[in-house]
Amino acid sequence: MEYVTLNNDLKMPILGYGVYQIPDHKECERCVIDAIDTGYRLIDTAQAYFNEEAVGNAVEKSGVKREDLFITSKVWISNAGYEKAKASIEESLNKLKSNYIDLMLIHQPFSDYYGTYRAMEEAYKEGKLKAIGVSNFYPDRLVDLIKFNEITPMINQVETHPFNQQTEAHEIMKKYNVQIEAWGSFAEGKNNMFSNEVLKEIGKKYNKSIAQTALRFLIQNGVIVIPKSTHKERMKENFDVFDFQLSDDDMNLIKTLDKKESLFINHYDPETVEFLSGIH
């Protein structure tokens, strides 16, 4: 496993396992146990995924020491604001059956995320959160948050994949020493990701799949990745990306796939804000 060092000197695995869209508790519990058994040590959940309890149960049953795992969760919009966020952090701790969470993020840049961040800063100082950060913050909102808060976020988790590489946003994060983390690293199969000829031909050189090639590209760019699969064999495949290195030429070729726009969501769109704000 390769690690990144966050701006508070905490080490975080560069490859983890995400549990988005696995709301069934038994299924999620099985998947997390399989992932941990495969070797994953970073598990990414969120209040809005409705499976924190399943992750907590899986961690408890895994046989791996809690301190050897890195658990991420996220505060949802409906829990925004100091008091609500503070209460929701305690609820997440209880659901995850832990007295600390390794990383807590603000899930979306809406509602009173300043109040949320104050609650997270407080919990961080108390040791309940080992690191804090944000998710889906575009560069303008990220810089705004940094400029007017005491603690610089350690992470910004944003849509990042070969078709939306976040090059400009990544440069802003580097400037402020904020680590980039990807969601949707396979673009959820959009743009015919899993039949892309460029990724396929590059992968053949290394005897690797398109998925492995995409993950390796992101990892070599210093991006934390959290691919999800409910199949253990695919989990193993996604984990097997540390025994090869893409050449500079191959990296540059993949960079040409960048469309520089989201395949999923535009946070500047009022309809997006209306939709996300309606989820409880």
Task: List pLDDT tens digits, range 93-137.
Answer: 999 999 999 999 999 999 999 999 999 999 999 999 999 999 999
pTM: 0.96
Q: How far is CA 156 from CA 32, 61, 65, 97, in A?
A: 23, 30, 27, 25
Tens-place pLDDT, residues 176-217: 999 999 999 999 999 999 999 999 999 999 999 999 999 999
Annotated binding site: 107
In the chain the domains, ranked by start, together with CATH numbers, are 3-277 (3.20.20.100)
156 φ/ψ sector (left φ>0, alpha ψ -120 to 50, else beta)? beta
For residue 127, give both structure tokens: 């040791």
Please identify which of the residues 40, 49, 113, 117 carries the catalytic annotation: 49
Binding-site members for substrate are 107
CA distances for 91 relative to 5, 17, 181, angstroms: 28, 22, 24
- For the question of residue 114 being annotated catalytic, the response is no
The one-character DSSP state at 74 is: E
Residues 209-257 have pLDDT tens digits of: 999 999 999 999 999 999 999 999 999 999 999 999 999 999 999 999 9
